[in-house]
């Protein structure tokens, strides 16, 4: 792929790309090309082998792909900031497509206040309390798949479970939840270039943003849900009403596509690796560990960006200030410099230090909820299902940032 010319840069939400400074490997890869999104692993390997820091000439950004440097950059939030956006678009030069997130797209000290409020609500005890409800829901949904015999792992479980479980947990209306999927798709496309995928998605949003904005309001939310609990921060003077609504928007933006795609990826990988499915079903207590390996091996979230707040050197590469850096967390999860047999899907390994949730001050705020949902769904499958087989090719969902499936035809039988 050739570098974008000036007009193309503007159309893609980028402007004034500085040339790379000093000695840095250059790659022409387009991370958002369909071929890369379909099967990114060889491309990531090529980038890793080119060096820890590579200049992506098409978009004028540095890519970081090794586990060690990904970790370092995410921990150095002072140098590698988020307030210029966690996507390719630099908010200092280009207006973002929506009001920035108070969590994801902020730096310290502002970030600490909103993060603290989110973590007050998403605390371990509060999340754990959903376990019995989630377990009952998962068992019902898996039983319904068994009753059907031939089903779609995505519609019948990967989408259905989070929409119900997480939707009820946050306390949003039941009617209209289908708007959450195109909205989430838009949010994650929005972290990439304003390419055709982004523009088509934006054009197809319909009433979704309106529905989401309404769903975030205090009086729409159920009195005891996670969403309404954010508004206690208004009473204590820690948040304004608008800020509380925006934090609910973060729950709805980040909490559905991620878990939906992760469950889909889990189903597809377990069905494709029958040896691993045998291990899981013979010991359902491995559900949590299996989820971690799914997240390592086939991370849902592939890329996000940081922006340099000062000139900085990384592995001998001098980066200028105000420079976008793409952090490829899915590549860090396959880096042979860190992992033994990184391309082997092995649910018995210890994978929990994967980068799928990021790390540092912006590390996924919902990871406890995501892990609870994932463990419970995989646990229900392991306990109840004997044969878990694909009856056709799963269909990929294309998105600029997250990867998952639109459909995965399955044959599911009950354990004796
Ligand atoms: C991590 C993430 C993804 C998408 C949206 C948000 C966060 C948000 O805070 O809105």
298-316 per-position pLDDT tens digit: 999 999 999 999 999 999 9
Ligand 1: distance of its center to the CA of 258 in Å?
A: 10
Is the link from the previous residue into 109 a cis peptide, with omega within 30 of 0?
A: yes
Percent of the chain with pLDDT over 70: 95
The residue nearest atom 10 of ligand 1, judged by CA position, is 250
Q: Which helix (H) or strand (E) holds 151?
A: strand 150-152
Does residue 387 sit in helix, strand or coil? strand
Q: Which domains does the chain have, with CATH numbers?
A: 3-414 (1.10.630.10)
196 pLDDT higher than 80: yes
Mean pLDDT of the region 195-219: 96
The helix (run of H) or strand (run of E) holding residue 196 is helix 196-203
Tell me, what's the pLDDT at 22?
72
Q: Which of 74, 250, 299, 357 to mutate to test the pocket of ligand 1 (most atoms within 8 A of CB)?
A: 250
User: What is the model's pLDDT at position 206?
Assistant: 95
Mean pLDDT (whole number) for 73-88: 97
C-alpha distances out from residue 262 to 52, 59, 89, 373, Å? 27, 28, 26, 10
Residue 110 is predicted with a pLDDT of 96
Tell me what the mean pLDDT of segment 237-247 comes to. 98
pLDDT over threshold 60, residue 16: no
85, 86, 357, 365, best to mutate for ligand 1 pocket (most atoms within 8 Å of CB): 86
Q: Quote the pTM value.
A: 0.96
Element (H, E) at 204: none
DSSP-derived secondary structure letter, 363: S
Is residue 34 packed enough to be buried (19+ CB in 10 Å), middle (13-18) or exposed (0-12)?
Answer: exposed
CA 130 to centroid of ligand 1, rounded, Å: 22
Please give the structure tokens belonging to residue 304: 């996000």
Q: What is the pLDDT of residues 312-363, one digit of tens each?
A: 999 999 999 999 999 999 999 999 999 999 999 999 999 989 999 999 999 9
Separation of 123 CA from ligand 1 center, angstroms?
18
Question: 289 is written with which tokens?
Answer: 């560990």
For residue 280, the CA-to-ligand 1 centroid distance in Å is 31
Q: Strand, coil or helix: what is 170?
A: helix
Rounded CA-CA distance 122/124 in Å is 7
Residues in the chain: 416
pLDDT at 136 over 60: yes
The alpha-helical segments, DSSP class H, found in 273-303 are: 274-282, 287-297
User: Is the pLDDT assigned to residue 403 strictly greater than 80?
Assistant: yes
Give the closest residue (by CA) to ligand 1 atom 8: 250
Reduced DSSP (H G I as helix, E B as strand, rest coil) percent helix, strand, coil of the chain, to 5 = 50, 15, 40
**CA separation, residue 38 to residues 46, 127, 397, 399 (Å):** 16, 34, 9, 10
- Which residue's entry shows tokens 């976008």? 324
Q: What whole-number distance in Å separates Cα of residue 324 and Cα of residue 314?
A: 13
- Ligand 1: which of 114, 254, 365 to mutate, most ligand atoms within 8 Å of CB? 254
For 367, the token pair is 């990871």
Q: Which two tokens stand for residue 281?
A: 């079903």
Quote the DSSP letter at residue 177: G
| Nearest partner of 233 among 245, 249, 250, judged by Cα | 245
Which of 83, 85, 96, 104 to probe ligand 1 with, by most ligand atoms within 8 A of CB? 104
Percent of the chain with pLDDT over 90: 93
Would you say residue 10 has pLDDT above 80? no
- pLDDT bin (cut points 50, 70, 90) of residue 12 is low
pLDDT of residue 23: 84
Could you give phi then psi for residue 96, rounded to 5 degrees?
-70, 155
In this model, does residue 193 exceed pLDDT 60? Answer: yes
- Cα-Cα end-to-end distance for the chain: 54
Residue 1 has pLDDT above 70, yes or no: no
Torsion, Cα 190 193 197 203, to 10 degrees, reads 60
Centre a 10 Å sphere on the Cβ of residue 95 and count the other Cβ atoms it contains. 8
What pLDDT was estimated at residue 19?
A: 63
Return d(Cα 195, Cα 64) in angstroms, integer: 22
Distances (CA, A) of 71 to 65, 355, 359: 10, 8, 7
What pLDDT is stored for residue 6 in this prediction? 58
Q: How many CB atoms lie within 10 A of CB 383?
A: 15
Q: Which residues of 364-375 are buried (b: 16+ CB within 10 A; e: fewer)?
A: bbbbbbbbbbbb
Pocket of ligand 1 (CB under 6 A): 101, 103-104, 187, 249-250, 253-254
Q: Tell which residue, 30, 6, 81, 21, has the closest CA to residue 53.
A: 21
Q: What is the pLDDT of residue 190?
A: 96
Is residue 77 a contact partner of residue 362, using CB atoms and an 8 Å limit? yes
């Amino acid at each position: 792929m050739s570098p974008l010319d000036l007009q193309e840069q503007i159309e893609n939400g980028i402007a004034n790309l500085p040339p790379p400074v000093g000695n840095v490997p250059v790659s022409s890869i387009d991370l958002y090309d369909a071929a890369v999104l379909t099967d990114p692993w060889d491309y990531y390997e090529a980038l890793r082998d080119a060096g820890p820091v590579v200049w992506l000439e098409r978009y004028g950004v540095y890519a970081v792909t090794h586990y060690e440097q990904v970790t370092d950059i995410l921990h150095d939030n002072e140098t590698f900031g988020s307030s210029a956006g966690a996507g390719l678009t630099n908010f200092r030069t280009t207006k973002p497509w929506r009001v920035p997130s108070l969590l994801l797209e902020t730096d310290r000290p502002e970030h600490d206040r909103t993060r603290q409020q989110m973590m007050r609500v998403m605390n371990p005890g509060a999340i754990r309390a959903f376990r019995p409800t989630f377990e009952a829901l998962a068992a019902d949904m898996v039983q319904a798949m068994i009753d059907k015999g031939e089903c779609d792992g995505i519609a019948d479980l990967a989408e259905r479970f989070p929409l119900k479980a997480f939707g009820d947990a946050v306390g949003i209306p039941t009617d209209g939840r289908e708007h959450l999927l195109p909205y989430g798709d838009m949010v994650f496309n929005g972290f990439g270039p304003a390419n055709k995928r982004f523009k088509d998605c934006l054009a197809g949003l319909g009433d979704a943003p309106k529905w989401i904005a309404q769903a975030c309001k205090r009086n729409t939310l159920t009195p005891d849900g996670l969403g309404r609990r954010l508004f206690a921060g208004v009473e204590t003077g820690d948040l304004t009403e608008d800020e509380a609504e925006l934090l609910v928007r973060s729950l709805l933006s980040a909490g559905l596509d991620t878990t939906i795609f992760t469950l889909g990826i889990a189903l597809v990988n377990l069905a494709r690796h029958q040896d691993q499915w045998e291990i899981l079903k013979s010991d359902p207590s491995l559900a949590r560990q299996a989820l971690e390996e799914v997240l390592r091996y086939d991370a849902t979230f592939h890329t996000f960006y940081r922006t340099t707040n000062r000139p900085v050197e990384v592995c001998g590469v001098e980066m200028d200030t105000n420079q976008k850096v793409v952090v490829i967390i899915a590549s860090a999860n396959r880096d042979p410099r860190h992992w033994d047999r990184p391309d082997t899907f092995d649910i018995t390994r210890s994978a929990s230090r994967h980068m799928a949730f990021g790390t540092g001050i912006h590390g996924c705020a919902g990871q406890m909820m995501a892990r609870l949902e994932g463990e419970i769904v995989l646990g229900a499958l392991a306990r109840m299902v004997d044969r878990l087989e694909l009856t056709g090719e799963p269909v990929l969902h294309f998105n600029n940032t997250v990867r998952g499936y639109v459909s995965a035809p399955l044959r599911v039988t009950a354990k004796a």
